[in-house]
Structure 1
Amino acid sequence: MSLALASALSASLAVTGVASSVLPAAADSGDGNATIRVVREVNANGKWDQALEPGMSGVSVVLTDDAGRSITGTTQADGTVKLTPGNSLGGGKYRVEVKNPDKGVLFPGFASLRSDLIDPTVLSSNVEFVDLSGGKNVEITTSFWSPEDYCQKNAMLVTACMNPTIPPADPAPDSKRTLTSFPYNARGEYDQLTDLATTADTGTVWGIGYNKVTKQIFSGAYAKRGTKYGPGGPGAIYRTDPATKQTTVFTRVPNPGSTGHNPNANMDEAFGLVVGKQSLGDVDVSSDGKDLYVVNLHDRRLYRYDATQSTAATYKASYPIKDPGCAAPGDWRPSGIGIQDGKVYVGGVCSAQSTGSKADLRAVVQVFDPVTGQFTGTVMDQPLNYKRMDPSYEPAGRCFGSTWYPWSNVRPNTQDGHQCTEANMQNPEPILSDLLFETNGDMVVGFGDRFSDRTGWQLPGSDDARPTTTFEGGDINRACRGGNHMFVLDGNGGCTNNGTPEIREFYPGDTMGMHQEISEGGLALSKVETTIPFTAMDPIPKTGSGVRWVDRTTGNANPATDGNYLNDTFGKSRGIADLEVLCDEAPLQIGNRVWKDLDEDGIQDPGEEPVVGATVNLYDADGKKIGTAVTNERGEYYFDSTVTKNVKPEDLPYGKTYTIKMDNPADFQAGGVLDGWKPTRPNQGDNDQVDSSGETSGNPFPAVEVTPKGAGQNDHGADFGFTNPQADLSVIKIGPAKVGPGEDIEYQIIVTNNGPNTATRWTITDPLPDGVTNARTSNADCGIAAGTLTCSGGPLAVGESHTITVRANAPIPQQTVTLKNCVKVTGTEPDPNMDNNNSCVPTEVPPVPVIDPAIGGAAAAAALGGFFLIRRRRGNAGAAF
């Protein structure tokens, strides 16, 4: 390259900036900070309901700038973290990524379309974009959820009444209700009941589970003195269709014990010995509707059945529930089940029956992993010798104790040093009968009273026992995580004490008048409600059984208004079974964002703009359009039936494949929001939440398929990036300022791509000056026709240049002429700067004077500065390129 060419090229590159190195952006000391709150959503409404949706601690949050630099923080106990760019980041605009702490169990919560980030009670997606420039501070709230937490408002509750078969001369008729349902908001006496089954259908049951997929209720036989088994016997699990009110025997759990009722022998007194030891405990169904779990009280095993079938000839598997080290192996009495976040929790008590010592009473909860089929550890192991109520020993001989008491087979004659001679008695023997989990992870524990089930209400005396009128003494407790991550009961100081300094309890509302502990052990939890219902003695000021509600935060209740009275047959002893809420399956939300991928890397960078007003359509597996969305000011779109409400619930079930398409032709036509834009590279990197998912796959429009595998498994990764791949092409033409007549003229044409994208194809057009001859070039991609040089090439990367050399012979003018040679470059991509697409160079060609032949050639040549030509001998150099 000539020195002149090199100098010109260097000057050109300096102007375009191609040759300069790009340094990382300096931190902007004026940037504000971002406060990110992560909560656990439950109600699919796209809002942060502060009373229902607690903050999630320990969640990783990443703040990234346009240069790709990041800082990371972790949410604290309240679910918030503050991220400040400081000296680490810069540029003003940032991407916020909230990392899912438990993939496969938790999914993105429902997000709302929003035009700004002003209101922190509106839920954002887990990827958000914030502008902190100029000292602006931003507070946003995002969420995750477990779909099993979802429930509709005012869902139906179902329980079962227990009906006596003693005294033998006057048993309750078989037509009396067992299973019954009522709305969550029902209050009063027998309010809004719907009878679903009778004693003839089920006999006495305790555990109740609900399959929200098939919408079937399961109930398990229960051993209680003075009230008979149903047609399936002591191991029966019944299946009830609430729509048709038809009940059938689903299965018979093997080895449930063989002791039968004998109401004619001392009021079925002998049967009291097997209460809590034979038949079945709790029944529960996995949130996906596939598995039914039940505790066999007799062989102390967890049984697993296929809950998708109408009947089960046998179980899928059974698992021994390991003795946690009770005073004697026979003291281990598992019963309760809870299911949360894909794990099964099984609870029981060390009954202390072998020693009779309160010090040996313990409540234990173990964890079972359905995937491995193994119990993986213990999460609670708590003593049960704490004070629960104020004792009462008046009048003399009446025993109403203050604590839990060891299991026994007899009616005690003394209690805590007091003689017990009166018929009225409260001597609660704990059965850990039910387990639930609050949204913040706290455990709610339901305790039933075995003594109440093995003795009874207003029973006459016999040869073996005095007359007995037992008052229920169960409990509803809360257990919170301690320093070693084990759960600690409220009575042992593990949770907020809403009670008194002496009687520590989270739920002081489980009282009625003089009765300080009225729970009968059954629990239900709808996480979209502010209260928690439990089965109770005297749920209103009236002797009997039913359901009581307490506040989930304060634990308090209004005795006059927070109960529904359901059964009067067992007085103040237990007369009601477990409690279950009939929640619908969780809805779905899919979609998220359309943006302009300016650097064509397929990643949503903080400074890249959203596409506003673009149409997005949703199609089912049959190609039917079932929803339409238009991107908002932030480029967001969603399909759902609860927040955006642009899809019918029945059109968006899980387990189906849906196709999201950006197939509105008007968007891509002249004047459309995507005119001149095309889909960017899909599936770049390893984070589906920040890349582009739209693929053309030979179709004219980008699309993405989404297949939610389970209820509520929201997908916010259906993003579409578009690129308008601009390439600032520039051209420089370099040539001599002056040549002699007929001499070679050499031109250098330099095409440069100044970015920001690769130029896939470029073309230069160079109409050569009139009069030049023998034009030629060695470039294979060039051609000369009708006096015009045309060259094409590509691709040309950002910062890359391509040089073309062309030569021609100057004309032989009669007078000085200036050859003006102009070249133009064009490209396939839009060019943001057309001012550098043309370049011209002037070249002067002097004339050759007519010379008398008498004048010597050498002298003439010297006079003309070396140019020499005799008109009569006109010729052409004709040199090779």
Structure 2
Amino acid sequence: MVGGARAGLRAHRDGGSGLRRCRAGRGQTDHQPATGLRRQGRPNPNIQVPHGPGTVRLCERLTRPCRTYPIGADGTVEIDTTTWTNSPGRYRVELLDWADKYDPATGQGFLQPSFAGPGLSSHLGYVDLRNGKDATLDFGVWNPDDYCQDNPDLATPCQQAATKPGGKTLVTFPYTSRGDTQGNPNNPTVLANGTQTGTAYGVAYDKKTRRIFTGAYAKRHGDYGPGGPGAIYVTDRNTGATTQFAIVPGAGNTPHNQPDRVDADFAAVVGQESLGDIEISADGSRLYVVNMKDRSLYTYDTATATPVGAPLPIPDTACTPAADWRPMGLGMRDGVLYAGGVCSAQSPQNVSQLRAVVWTFNPATGTFGSTPIVDEPLDFPRDPAVAPTPGNWKPWTKDDLTQFPDGGNGQWAYPQPMLSDIEIERDGSLVLGFRDRMGDQSGLIIPNANPAKANVIESIATGGDLYRVCRTTTGTYEWEGGAACPRTGSEFYKGDEWYQGAGHLETVQGALALPLGGDRLAATVMDPVRTITSTGVGFFDRWQGDRGADPSLQGLGLTYANDGGFGKANGLGDLELLCDEPPVQIGNRVWRDKADGTQSYDETAGIPGVTVILRDANGQEIARKKTDAKGEYYFDHRDGLRPNTQYKLEFDKSTADPTVDYEAQDLWWTPNIGLNQATNSDAVPDGANPLADTATVVVTTGPPGTIDHDIDAGLWVAS
């Protein structure tokens, strides 16, 4: 035996970049140094998660068959080569298979090879284990739909009082924005107003066409737009135009009546008519909408604005009685749609029948799961929404407004849960956003909805919430506070309080945005900074659940009492990340060849220091790199690389680092005779001269989210 040691491999799911030791895993491409994240191509255990099972292959002599090894569920496998008879000690290592692998022929699966970089290997690599050396490789897979760029914009509907018909109803702002924006005409950026969309909640974004979809919402003292209670609107970010996209039928027919005690009768309609959340498919072709009137899921073709199939009732079997089922929130990841709602306990008025329920929906088969993945009672103690009154969830108010509650003159709370939004964490756990229904039934300095109490002028403080539901190792889900979903204190997201830590301890208003490569979860909240009677966004630590010692430093104010806002009542709709399409990456290796044009198992040595220049199709330089110690190089969007574009790669061997047995002028370009694209040499030397300083490859990048790590160049030393 010439050599041999242990090769460890790990695979992880890289929320956009990264196997290692062989380890396999999954995570999120990270491009946000401003928010404290790792740089892309560097492992971060908070972002990346182990991913298995899978298969890795090691090859040595051509006369011996390659050996395959299973990657465990933890994403790792350790291979001991010390027992291999007459092993040469050098090996080609390849990640062959992994769970949920995307198959372009069938369209099944969703995880593709991810970016490579420092500390992260391409899916085909080489290791030298001679003389007792060990090696660790770290590979990664990702779902390109998980990608989001540095500091994306967020979009949210501002819900304006009917007395401000021309007020802002769709705004955008950078994710890193913090502080109060009152009086700032440029932050947020206004894209639509009340005459165009009216009151909206749901938001979805088609990153390919740069269109923002918003859905109508039933809110007291907030008028519908021109399309009424079933309207979906679309705003084109390229042109700035907002138009009507579609009308969901049967979404309600109760009119607003603003003059009559400020639309008091409409308090009974909230959560029972118009539209709930909306969500878009990963490819942007389908828009999913919750009709809260008939409690069904509608699907639309985003290109033609036409319905796709018949509406599907969202199952009500978890509720007793079934009539109390109130769906609203949606979430989507890895091709699975999540639909959530509550058993409202409106009929029995018994808090023990108040429940949170989440179903999965398979768009490919058009079917919901046989049982809900979450079915949790909501009768537990909560912190006060307005101290000192406990903020425990209450059954939904009856439609009979003569029984509508009041808290007397002044500020009060009566929290009623609406499961309004769902985000899916890196490991498949859920974050559930709950909106307080009373925040849409009442408002700021407004008469009580009970006709007998019209003289009671009140202001509501909302008491929504955030909950974490952990996905266990067995694929089940556990509500926070259980053994498999630990927390400190009474709740995981303990940052949902006013900055002074008193008075308001449940400030969340139910909409969420989660950049999988970031450290913070965004949620709509009341009084997010220090200006009271306002609404905006709070930014929660994903790992600890807090907003820091001073929560106001992780807040952004968006609507205020004097600009048509609803004060401490609900004033915003959904939150949506406006992510770019996923980037592409090209590159891989300049290696020391034996002049046969093919990378063999024993050609583990790369050639460092070779300059690689990225040029456009006309030859204009865009970026340049030098090969690293392994002979590897990579270009991506940070270097100006674009999808579906032709480039020229120029390799310059004159800068190659010298070694004890060659200098740059001793290197010859290898012939381009290999048949395997993954292992052959692609570089064509200038003038067909193998001793020329430069060699060139013409390459066309793939569609967004793809990589090409097969652009290699071989160099050999004449004896």
TM range (shorter): 0.7 to 0.9
Instruction: Give the TM-score, by structure 1 length.
Output: 0.66
Matching of residue 294 in structure 1 with residue 294 in structure 2? no
Inter-partner Cα distance in structure 2 for 1:492 and 1:458:
41
Matching of residue 257 in structure 1 with residue 245 in structure 2? no
Cα distance, 1:247–1:136 mapped onto 2, change above 3 Å = same
Cα distance, 1:388–1:581 mapped onto 2, change above 3 Å = farther
Aligned to 2:324: 331
Inter-partner Cα distance in structure 1 for 2:179 and 2:606:
54
Matching of residue 566 in structure 1 with residue 543 in structure 2? no
Q: Deviations over 1:237-268 (max 9, x none)?
A: 11223455432212222221111111233432
Secondary structure at the counterpart of residue 574 of structure 2: strand
Is the Cα–Cα contact under 8 Å of residues 327 and 354 in structure 1 kept in the other structure?
Answer: no
Q: Deviations over 1:601-657 (max 9, x none)?
A: 956414454466778787888999977776555343433232xx2xx24xx224x5x
Inter-partner Cα distance in structure 2 for 1:704 and 1:693:
13
Aligned to 1:545: 535
Inter-partner Cα distance in structure 1 for 2:588 and 2:373:
41
Q: CA deviation at 1:151?
A: 1.8
Inter-partner Cα distance in structure 2 for 1:64 and 1:353:
62
Matching of residue 101 in structure 1 with residue 82 in structure 2? no
Matching of residue 605 in structure 1 with residue 601 in structure 2? yes
Aligned to 1:146: 143
- Counterpart amino acid of 2:132? G
- Counterpart amino acid of 1:565? G
- Counterpart amino acid of 2:30? N
Among candidates 480, 497, 503, match of residue 514 of structure 1: 503
Secondary structure at the counterpart of residue 124 of structure 1: coil
Unaligned runs of at least 5 residues, structure 1: 1-25, 115-121, 166-170, 725-829, 833-881
Cα distance, 1:450–1:137 mapped onto 2, change above 3 Å = same
Q: Deviations over 1:80-119 (max 9, x none)?
A: 544432424743323333344332222222222x6xxxxx
Give the percent of matched residue pairs that are identical in Structure 1 and Structure 2.
36
- Counterpart amino acid of 2:216? A
Aligned to 2:192: 197
Matching of residue 92 in structure 1 with residue 89 in structure 2? yes
Among candidates 427, 436, 455, match of residue 414 of structure 2: 427
Aligned to 2:13: none
Is the Cα–Cα contact under 8 Å of residues 381 and 392 in structure 2 kept in the other structure?
Answer: yes
Inter-partner Cα distance in structure 2 for 1:70 and 1:223:
62
Cα distance, 1:272–1:64 mapped onto 2, change above 3 Å = same
Secondary structure at the counterpart of residue 196 of structure 2: helix
Among candidates 45, 50, 53, match of residue 44 of structure 2: 50
Aligned to 2:173: 182
Structure with more contact order per residue of length (Cα contacts < 8 Å, sep ≥ 6)? 2
Inter-partner Cα distance in structure 2 for 1:389 and 1:102:
39
Unaligned runs of at least 5 residues, structure 2: 10-20, 32-38, 103-109, 656-662, 689-694
Q: CA deviation at 1:280?
A: 0.8
Inter-partner Cα distance in structure 1 for 2:2 and 2:272:
69
Paired residues for 1:166-565 under 5 Å: 171=163, 173-190=164-181, 192-242=187-237, 244-308=239-303, 312=305, 318-376=311-369, 380-390=373-383, 400-406=390-396, 408-409=398-399, 424-461=411-448, 462-465=450-453, 467=456, 468-482=458-472, 484-490=474-480, 495-498=485-488, 500=489, 503=490, 505-512=491-498, 513-541=502-530, 542-557=532-547, 558-565=550-557
- Counterpart amino acid of 1:522? A
- Counterpart amino acid of 2:556? N
Cα distance, 1:373–1:385 mapped onto 2, change above 3 Å = closer
Q: CA deviation at 1:281?
A: 0.8
Inter-partner Cα distance in structure 1 for 2:613 and 2:387:
74
Inter-partner Cα distance in structure 1 for 2:203 and 2:375:
26
- Counterpart amino acid of 1:332? W
Is the Cα–Cα contact under 8 Å of residues 432 and 448 in structure 1 kept in the other structure?
Answer: yes
Inter-partner Cα distance in structure 2 for 1:394 and 1:340:
38
- Counterpart amino acid of 2:451? D
Cα distance, 1:84–1:671 mapped onto 2, change above 3 Å = closer
Inter-partner Cα distance in structure 1 for 2:601 and 2:504:
63
- Counterpart amino acid of 1:441? G
Paired residues for 1:841-860 under 5 Å: none
- Counterpart amino acid of 1:562? Q
Secondary structure at the counterpart of residue 200 of structure 1: helix
Is the Cα–Cα contact under 8 Å of residues 388 and 491 in structure 1 kept in the other structure?
Answer: no
Is the Cα–Cα contact under 8 Å of residues 612 and 649 in structure 2 kept in the other structure?
Answer: yes
Is the Cα–Cα contact under 8 Å of residues 359 and 368 in structure 2 kept in the other structure?
Answer: yes
- Equivalenced residue count is 656
Cα distance, 1:637–1:50 mapped onto 2, change above 3 Å = closer
Instruction: Give the TM-score, by structure 2 length.
Output: 0.80
Q: CA deviation at 1:508?
A: 0.4
Q: CA deviation at 1:519?
A: 0.8
Is the Cα–Cα contact under 8 Å of residues 39 and 142 in structure 1 kept in the other structure?
Answer: no
Paired residues for 1:808-847 under 5 Å: none
Q: CA deviation at 1:520?
A: 0.6
- State the structure with more CA Rg: 1
Cα distance, 1:278–1:218 mapped onto 2, change above 3 Å = same
Matching of residue 579 in structure 1 with residue 575 in structure 2? yes
- Counterpart amino acid of 1:527? L
Is the Cα–Cα contact under 8 Å of residues 31 and 92 in structure 1 kept in the other structure?
Answer: no
Secondary structure at the counterpart of residue 592 of structure 1: strand
Secondary structure at the counterpart of residue 134 of structure 1: helix
Q: CA deviation at 1:355?
A: 3.1
Inter-partner Cα distance in structure 1 for 2:229 and 2:327:
17
Secondary structure at the counterpart of residue 264 of structure 2: helix
Among candidates 116, 123, 127, match of residue 126 of structure 1: 123
